């Protein structure tokens, strides 16, 4: 298994290109199931999760072709020949559940393995299933699989989510696009990735209003057609590299990043003492003086994202004063704490909150990645630490960050991948 070695202590200067958003790309690929025609996605990031969803679509019968030399353009198309999403693929990536709504809407049936446990929380899919049932689906659980059927087309319905769910909003949005009649999704997620999906579905012929708000109204159509869509830049990759500059010092242009997608992240980083400027070509991040402690609580967009919590905690371990970090989305997303502690961080967890007391410097150590965002937080800590940090179990990182070692080395960090 590969590891990443970091020698800390170098400020970062230059430019880091921000790729297409993983969490936008995955539902957009699932949307390829909604039509027989070609859906062409550009600015596709080269990540393990994209390969996994490509494998899943391929076994549903969809041809997934890379149509450029770099592999950043994917062309999806073809008839669905199999409506089963097997455990072997779904267990690798929970986002596989996103094929359920499209398969059911297109084929009237789907058999999708239930995603199992996950490192960051229990992550049930009850909201996806209840919403589809409200649209007329009959759903049973059989041998670890969700078996869903509908006679004729799904029917429009008014669905009020008891909590905001990105995945459930996406699944039902896709299903509703091909349903009979009007669907209203209340308390829908408003993440930029949802807006991106709405724009792509609209380009495919879907009729959606309320885009960007918590109430989406979808007038179902009988069929959708092909389209070409450019995936939005990854706001979590952007936030992660902004934290890298903040923790290591220096000034970096995050090329193609979008300030308007950063939500609370930009404001919190400014509070911590980081200058963030929107430019036509991206976002410039600069650390001028010291770092100050700042409190955050994770919330649905535009609040502070749970996917930035671990990275922000790494930053706060070397800030002046204390900060309180509260995780309100997932119940087990503090696994990076014990690894950061091995590097000299002072963090106490009390239930859903962690108190971080800044220390002058971290010390490099061998540490282990436990999930995707925890992995990137350990790399950030390594950038600020004295001496050598080696992060193992890097396969978590490869699910969601393209070429971290290349991007950070190009701005002056000493980061390399050790191949086993
Ligand atoms: N929830 C339920 N029932 C459901 C669905 C969700 O109780 O049927 C709960 C979850 O357990 C959680 C909360 O609702 O406590 C929010 O979960 P959500 O459904 O919004 O998360 P998701 O769609 O499974 C996506 C991202 C995650 C990101 C979350 C929150 C993708 C592929 N994944 O997950 O990304 O943390 O939204 O923003 O878009 C990551 O990239 O590292 C990652 C984990």
Between CA 244 and CA 251 the distance in angstroms is 10
* Residue recorded with tokens 């353009």: 73
Quote the DSSP letter at residue 313: H
pLDDT for residue 1:
84
Verify whether ligand 1 is closer than 6 Å to residue 45 (CB atom): no
In the annotation, is 107 catalytic? Answer: no
Q: What's the pLDDT tens digit per position in 356-384?
A: 999 999 999 999 989 999 999 999 999 99
pLDDT for residue 255:
98
Instruction: Say whether 124 sits in a helix, a strand or coil.
Output: coil
The count of other CB atoms within 10 Å of the CB of residue 23 is 24
Mean per-residue pLDDT, 204-220 = 98
Mean per-residue pLDDT, 257-261 = 98
pLDDT for residue 120:
78
pLDDT for residue 332:
86
Which position has the higher pLDDT, 395 or 226? 226
**DSSP-assigned states of every residue in 234-266:** -HHHHHHHHHHHHHH-EEEEEET--GGG-THHH
Quote the DSSP letter at residue 114: P
Which position has the higher pLDDT, 13 or 420? 13
Atom of ligand 1 nearest to the CA of 372: 42
Atom of ligand 1 nearest to the CA of 400: 41
Q: Which candidate in 107, 118, 198, 243 is catalytic?
A: 118
Tell me how far CA of residue 30 lies from CA of 64, 140, 180, in angstroms: 11, 22, 20
Mean per-residue pLDDT, 379-397 = 96
pLDDT for residue 117:
62
Residue 307 CA, ligand 1 centroid: distance in Å:
10
Verify whether ligand 1 is closer than 6 Å to residue 117 (CB atom): no
Phi, psi (rounded to 5 degrees) for 121: 170, 180
pLDDT exceeds 90 at position 136 = yes
Mean per-residue pLDDT, 133-141 = 97
pLDDT for residue 420:
79
- Ligand 1, atom 4, residue with closest C-alpha: 125
First-residue to last-residue Cα distance in the chain: 6
Atom of ligand 1 nearest to the CA of 373: 42
Residue 418 pairs in a beta bridge with: 3
Verify whether ligand 1 is closer than 6 Å to residue 25 (CB atom): no
pLDDT for residue 203:
98
Q: What's the pLDDT tens digit per position in 27-67?
A: 999 999 999 999 999 999 999 999 999 999 999 999 999 99
pLDDT for residue 402:
97
Compute the CA torsion angle 202, 203, 204, 208 (nearest 10 deg): 0
Residue 276 CA, ligand 1 centroid: distance in Å:
28
Lowest-confidence segment of 231-235, 249-253, 320-324, 331-335 by average pLDDT: 331-335
Q: Are 284 and 276 in contact (CB under 8 A)?
A: yes
Mean per-residue pLDDT, 127-148 = 97
Tell me how far CA of residue 190 lies from CA of 148, 166, 260, in angstroms: 27, 8, 13
Confidence of residue 121 (pLDDT cuts 50, 70, 90): confident
Inter-helix orientation angle 126-134/166-177, to 10°: 30
Compute the CA torsion angle 6, 11, 16, 19 (nearest 10 deg): 50
Is residue 320 left, alpha or beta, with left meaning phi > 0 and alpha meaning psi from -120 to 50? beta
Between CA 174 and CA 68 the distance in angstroms is 27
Q: What's the pLDDT tens digit per position in 265-296?
A: 999 999 999 999 999 999 999 998 899 999 99
Instruction: Say whether 383 sits in a helix, a strand or coil.
Output: helix
Look up the pTM and report it: 0.98
Choice from 19, 20, 22, 23 to test ligand 1 binding pocket (greatest atom count within 8 A of CB): 23
- Ligand 1, atom 9, residue with closest C-alpha: 123
Counting residues of the chain whose pLDDT is more than 70, the rounded percentage is: 99
Rounded to the nearest angstrom, the gap between the alpha carbon of residue 396 and the centroid of all alpha carbons in its chain is 13
pLDDT exceeds 90 at position 166 = yes
Verify whether ligand 1 is closer than 6 Å to residue 307 (CB atom): yes
Contacts (Cβ under 8 Å, ≥6 apart) of 221 = 177, 178, 205, 206, 207
Mean per-residue pLDDT, 169-177 = 98
């Amino acid at each position: 298994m590969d590891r990443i070695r970091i020698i800390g202590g170098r400020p970062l200067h230059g430019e880091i290109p921000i790729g297409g958003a993983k969490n936008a790309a995955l539902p957009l690929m699932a949307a390829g199931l909604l039509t027989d025609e070609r859906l062409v996605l550009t600015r596709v990031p080269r990540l393990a999760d994209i390969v996994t969803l490509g494998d899943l679509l391929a076994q549903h019968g969809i041809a997934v072709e890379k149509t450029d030399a770099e592999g950043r353009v994917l062309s999806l198309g073809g008839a669905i020949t199999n409506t089963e999403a097997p455990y072997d693929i779904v267990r690798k990536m929970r986002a596989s559940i996103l094929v359920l709504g499209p398969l059911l809407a297109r084929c009237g049936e789907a058999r999708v393995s239930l995603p199992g446990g996950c490192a960051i929380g229990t992550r049930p899919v009850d909201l996806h299933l209840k919403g589809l049932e409200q649209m007329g689906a009959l759903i049973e659980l059989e041998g670890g699989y969700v078996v869903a059927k509908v006679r004729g087309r799904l029917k429009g319905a008014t669905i009020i989510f008891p909590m905001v769910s990105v995945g459930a909003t996406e699944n039902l949005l896709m299903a509703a696009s091909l349903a009979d009649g009007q669907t209203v999704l209340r308390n829908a997620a408003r993440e930029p990735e949802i807006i991106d999906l709405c724009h792509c579905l609209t380009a495919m012929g879907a009729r959606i209003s309320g885009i960007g708000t918590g109430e989406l109204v979808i007038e179902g159509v009988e069929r959708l057609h092909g389209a070409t869509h450019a995936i939005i830049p990854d706001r979590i990759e952007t936030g992660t590299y902004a934290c890298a500059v903040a923790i290591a010092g220096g000034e970096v242009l995050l090329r193609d990043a979008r300030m308007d997608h950063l939500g609370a992240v930009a404001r919190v980083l400014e509070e911590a003492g980081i200058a963030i400027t929107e430019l036509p070509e991206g976002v410039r991040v600069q650390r001028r003086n010291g770092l100050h402690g700042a409190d955050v609580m994770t919330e649905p967009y535009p609040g502070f994202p749970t996917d930035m919590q671990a990275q922000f905690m790494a930053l706060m371990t070397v800030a002046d004063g204390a900060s309180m970090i509260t995780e309100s989305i997932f119940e087990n997303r503090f696994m990076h704490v014990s690894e950061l502690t091995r590097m000299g961080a002072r963090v106490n967890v009390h239930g859903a909150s962690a108190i971080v007391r800044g220390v002058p410097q971290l010390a490099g150590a061998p540490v282990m990645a436990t999930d995707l965002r925890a992995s990137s937080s350990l790399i950030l800590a390594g950038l600020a630490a004295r001496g050598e940090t080696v992060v193992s179990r890097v396969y978590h990182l490869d699910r969601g960050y393209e070429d971290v070692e290349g991007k950070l080395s190009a701005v002056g960090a000493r980061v390399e991948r050790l191949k086993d």
